Amino acid sequence: MSNPEVSAGAKAGRRVGRRVGRLIGRVLQRLQPPERLPHLLPRPEEEAAVMDCALYVRGSRQPGHPSFADAYAAARRRRNGFVWLGLFEPTSAQFTAIAELVGVDEATAGKTLAVDRRPAIERCGDVTVLTLRTARYVEHAELTATSEVVDTGAVTLLIGRHFVVSVRHGGAGALADVRARLQQRPALLGLGPWAVAYAVIERMVEVYHDVATHVEQDVEKLEETAFLRDGGCDVQQIYQLKRELLEFKRAVLPLRQPLRRMTDPSSDVPPALRQYFQDAHGRLNQVVERIGSYNELLDSILQARLAQVGLDQNNDMRKIAAWAAIAAVPTAIAGIYGMNFDHMPELHWRYGYGLVAAIMACAMVTLHRLFRKSGWL
């Protein structure tokens, strides 16, 4: 028979051995090389696309510069915490690890990296994908047939319970100022990841208004020079500005529907933020109305300019016809007397040449005065 005391000691020893083994396993796991921990230690090429990464708890940015994996893990342990990761033109390989970490499938990741998407909002599992179009006014000395007036890009936001990932493409729409301004509003930032979405939309709408103001100045300049006979605008310049305005319209107009959905009570937006999105929707409608008025004004300028071009062409044709009629008088007379017939009146008269020349001159002067009086010359 076995000794009970020995059996109890053996069991206790085995328990201690298992605990020591688990402890050693944890230590060895922490000592593993970086390639064994792809989600915890970011690669240098991944860091190149990261503009900023911060952990926010109750509207306050936490100190340090953690990796997204560490910040996301810390945010999930906090009830009022979330992480905001800002990326600029990441490659597919750079974005894959982040997408896997937040539970985004391959199709959604592909949509996030698309550059030419229209503004839209859609739900993909537990993640909301919000796509915005950025805009920037391009300064130019004068408007030409090839001038770039509005430069557009894209910003896609992946919004989850404890994270926001912003992916930006293009030179327009930098979000550093948005982050700085939002961090100065801890009460708003404390409302969670959707506060970041509102701050980005608010900034986009502000930029839309600025771009619309500059475009308005270009339209006014075209309007001032449209009817100048010397140095007036060309039809190509009007077409170019209309094309740039159309590109701007494609960036602004489709955003109304996503904003309207975010103000709906059934949306995922916290109730405290819906009024903010409602205000942004109202300001966006103002930009849409301004763009519509500029487009109508450009249509009027274009029609007026085309009518003026047609009128100028008609005036040129009348001038050509008038001078042709004046030149036809001596041509007709010279043609008749150049037929070299023997029996023609006044061929041998001493004063015939002077009389014919005087008749031609009087006829030409008379026709010139008549055309000037009628406005053809």
**Structure tokens of 28?**
């060895």
Q: How far, in Å, CA of 248 to CA of 218, rounded?
A: 14
User: Whole domain around residue 328: which residue ranges?
Assistant: 317-374
Say what the pTM is.
0.73
Q: What are phi and psi of 122, to 5 degrees?
A: -150, 155
Cα separation of 287 and 135, whole Å?
13
Tell me which DSSP letter residue 350 carries: T
Return the pLDDT at 307: 77
CATH of the domain at 71: 3.30.460.20
290, 309, 328: which is the final residue of a domain?
Answer: 309
For residues 274 and 248, membership in a common domain is answered with yes
The predicted structure's pLDDT at residue 48: 61
Asked if 297 and 323 sit in the same domain, the reply is no
Among residues 119, 111, 113, which one has the least CA distance to residue 248?
119
- Tell me the pLDDT tens digit for each residue of 68-98: 999 999 999 988 899 999 999 998 888 988 9
**Backbone φ, ψ for residue 311 (5° rounding):** -65, -40
**Domain boundary residue, one of 261, 278, 309:** 309
Q: What is the pLDDT of residue 229?
A: 63
Mark whether 220 and 321 lie in a shared domain.
no
Tell me, what's the pLDDT at 29?
Answer: 41
In this prediction, residue 377 carries a pLDDT of 77
Instruction: State whether 189 and 148 are in the same domain.
Output: yes
- The per-residue pLDDT for 237 is 85
Q: End of a domain among 289, 309, 329?
A: 309
**Cα–Cα dist 147/82, whole Å:** 43
Backbone angles phi, psi at 41, to 5 degrees: -120, 105
Written as tens digits, the pLDDT of the chain (377 aa) is: 444 444 444 444 455 455 544 444 443 344 333 333 333 334 444 456 889 999 999 999 999 888 999 999 999 998 889 999 999 999 888 898 898 898 888 888 888 888 888 999 999 888 999 999 999 999 988 888 888 899 999 999 999 999 999 999 988 888 999 999 999 999 999 999 999 999 999 999 999 999 999 999 999 888 888 777 665 677 888 888 999 999 999 999 999 999 999 998 888 899 999 999 999 999 999 999 999 999 999 888 888 877 777 777 787 788 888 888 888 888 888 887 777 777 677 677 777 778 888 888 898 888 888 888 888 87
Longest dimension (CA), the chain: 167
Q: Residue 35 carries which DSSP code?
A: G
Q: What's residue 230's pLDDT?
A: 63
Rounded distance, CA 58 to CA 56, Å?
7
Q: Is 71 left (phi over 0), alpha (psi -120 to 50) or beta?
A: alpha
Judgement on whether residues 178 and 167 belong to the same structural domain of the protein: yes
Q: What is the CATH number of the domain that holds 337?
A: 1.20.58
Taking CA atoms, 310 is separated from 229, 298, 307, in Å, by 13, 18, 5
Same domain (yes/no): 357, 284:
no
* Distant-in-sequence, close-in-space partners of 79: CB < 8 Å, separation ≥ 6: none
* Same domain for 40 and 20: no
Query: How would you classify the pairing of strands 60-61 and 50-57?
Result: antiparallel
Beta-strand relationship, 150-159 and 120-124: unpaired
List alpha helices for 123-270, DSSP H.
Answer: 176-183, 186-189, 193-225, 235-252, 256-262
| Whether residue 193 is found in the same domain as residue 283 | yes
25: its two tokens: 């396993």
Contact 255, 132 (CB under 8 A): yes
Contact 323, 372 (CB under 8 A): no
Tell me, what's the pLDDT at 206? Answer: 95
Q: Model confidence over 7-38: pLDDT tens digits?
A: 444 444 455 455 544 444 443 344 333 333 33
Task: Give me the number of domains the chain comprises.
Answer: 3
HSE-up of 69 (CA within 13 Å, CB side)?
15
Structure tokens at 221: 């300049």
Asked if 108 and 49 sit in the same domain, the reply is: yes
What pLDDT is attached to residue 197?
95
Task: Tell me, yes or no, whether 338 and 290 share the same domain.
Answer: no
Do both 301 and 324 map to the same domain?
no
Do 224 and 78 belong together in one domain?
Answer: yes
